[in-house]
């Protein structure tokens, strides 16, 4: 079995996907921006609809904040996966000779 596609997937795709999700989550969490289309809503009344996409909720409202936080946490977990796998691998390599 060829292990290189799996190594590529874990050590290259995971950090890229994780960083993309972190960037998207923090971008949509930016204050004063629409959480869906990122339209600049500064100067509009607090609970006004987005003039660009018609989203009813203000970017500071609970639903969008929770969605952004979920995406941020998932992004961090995906980004950290290769580092955790590498750390576990290193610990196994260090512990295995001691078990013999």
Tell me which residues touch Zn ion (CB under 5 A).
Answer: 34, 36-37, 39, 50, 52-53, 55
CA–CA dist 41, 54 (Å, integer): 12
* CB nearer Zn ion, residue 19 or residue 44: 44
Output the smallest distance, CB 35 to Zn ion, in A.
8
50: left (phi over 0), alpha (psi -120 to 50) or beta: beta
* CB nearer Zn ion, residue 48 or residue 77: 48
In contact, 51 and 97? CB cutoff 8 Å: no
Helix (H, G, I), strand (E, B) or coil at 33: strand
Output the smallest distance, CB 55 to Zn ion, in A.
5
* CB nearer Zn ion, residue 34 or residue 64: 34
Output the smallest distance, CB 59 to Zn ion, in A.
9
In contact, 77 and 41? CB cutoff 8 Å: no
* CB nearer Zn ion, residue 25 or residue 50: 50
């Amino acid at each position: 079995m060829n292990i290189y596609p799996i190594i590529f997937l874990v050590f290259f795709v995971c950090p890229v996907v994780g960083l993309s999700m972190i960037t998207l989550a923090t971008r949509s969490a930016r204050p004063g921006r629409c959480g869906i289309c990122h339209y600049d809503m500064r100067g509009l009344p607090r609970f006004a609809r987005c003039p660009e996409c018609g989203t009813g909720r203000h970017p500071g409202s609970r639903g969008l904040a929770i969605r952004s936080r979920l995406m941020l946490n998932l992004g961090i977990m995906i980004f950290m996966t290769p580092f955790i796998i590498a750390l576990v691998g290193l610990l196994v390599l260090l512990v295995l000779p001691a078990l013999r």
